[in-house]
Structure 1
Amino acid sequence: VMACGAALLIIGGGLDFSAGAVFTLGALVTCKMLVAGVPWPPAILIGLTVCCAFGMVNFLVITYLHVPPIIATLGTFYMLTGLNNLVTDGNDVIP
């Protein structure tokens, strides 16, 4: 699923370096929700919503602030990688 979106983006002439970090954050949020006892359908929907929110942040930064896509997505990548490490304390999350 992620590769289909990336293929469309590359065909359109853009690059998205933050896709892996966004994917990781969505999985991390979903795992944390499952560990907390949330049933799996809402946990998955919340994880997808978080992914969509960061995709929207990338879109808004690129479109309205006129930041080149490579710079905006690299910034989002580093921000989300730090957030992922902060949330997990560098440890694995096992549902």
Structure 2
Amino acid sequence: MSNNPLQTNNITKCFAKTCRSTLCQTPPVKGKKRCRMHYGAKGIGTPKGSQNAFKHGRYSRETIANRKETVMLIRQFRALLREISLI
């Protein structure tokens, strides 16, 4: 091993896919697999519980539960209609 700081034989590359569909050649952040521009740095991303990306709530827990309950009620109603018409 040499003491040359420019020698990068043991440094891996980020290899994340860039916008141009090529591989990133930047070295990763220490202790991470990606470079600072590809979410390797600490503190990257939105804080927990951020509502900035909330658009419509179609996939929120509450909406999914309401849809499941509605489907169940429709199935029960159809079964009841089948029973009534057969009697």
Please, what TM-score do these two structures have when normalized by structure 1? Answer: 0.24
Please, what TM-score do these two structures have when normalized by structure 2? Answer: 0.26
| Bigger CA radius of gyration | 2
Give the number of the structure with larger relative contact order, counting CA–CA contacts within 8 Å between residues 6 or more apart.
1
